[in-house]
Amino acid sequence: MLNSIGIEISKRQVLRLPTTRLDPFITEDSAVLHAGLVSAPFITVDDTGARHIRRNAYTTQIGGERFSIFRTGFSKSRLNFLSILEAGHQDYILNEEAMNWLRTQGAVEQAIVEKLVTRSTTIFADQVAFLEYLTG
């Protein structure tokens, strides 16, 4: 079609357009997810499976009233879903809200809850730092 209106472009050039220089789009997509998760009064989640490169793949949709994101991968695990919700953040935060949640769950051993009690907000850079704190 482009050739018919006088634009000389190869098939390879056309295929490269949507697959190169994606950094600004990735940054924007991550910002949309973060802003949506922070501001939405509720979120919806859905997933669907399909074959991709001769393997089972899954697309997860997370959205609210004003945003929607889609992630496709080869895992449909809870850990994969949580990694999507983390939106690139890997830190762990212990604060009063987290402690209240742990207490209401009743599924965490009291010794662990006591180990986690802190007077101020504690931030761990990643899961490794958090696990080192737990075992230390």
Are 126 and 62 members of one domain?
A: no
pLDDT at residue 90, rounded to an integer: 83
Residues 124 and 59 in one domain: no
Q: Report pLDDT for 121.
A: 86
Contact (Cβ atoms closer than 8 angstroms) between residue 68 and residue 46? no
Whether residues 69 and 106 share a domain: the answer is no
Cα(65)–Cα(30) distance, rounded to whole angstroms?
17
63 & 106 share domain: no
* Residues in Cβ contact with 107 at an 8 Å cutoff, skipping those fewer than 6 apart: none
If asked whether residues 50 and 105 sit together in one domain, one would say no
Specify the pLDDT at position 49.
92
- Are residue 20 and residue 52 in the same domain, yes or no? yes
Q: Domain range holding 56?
A: 3-84
Q: Do 77 and 109 sit in the same domain of this protein?
A: no
One domain for residues 19 and 80: yes
User: 105 and 130 in one domain?
Assistant: yes
C-alpha distance from residue 136 to each of 57, 117, 133 (Å): 39, 14, 5
pLDDT of residue 18: 80
Residues 72 and 131 in one domain: no
Say what the pLDDT of residue 86 is: 81
Q: Are residues 101 and 55 in the same domain?
A: no
- One pLDDT digit (tens) per residue for the chain, 136 residues: 778 888 888 888 888 888 788 889 888 988 899 899 889 999 999 999 988 889 999 999 999 999 999 999 998 888 888 888 887 788 888 888 888 888 888 777 888 777 787 778 889 998 899 888 888 7
* pLDDT (0 to 100) of residue 62: 93
Task: Say if residue 75 is in the same domain as residue 99.
Answer: no
- Number of domains comprising the chain: 2
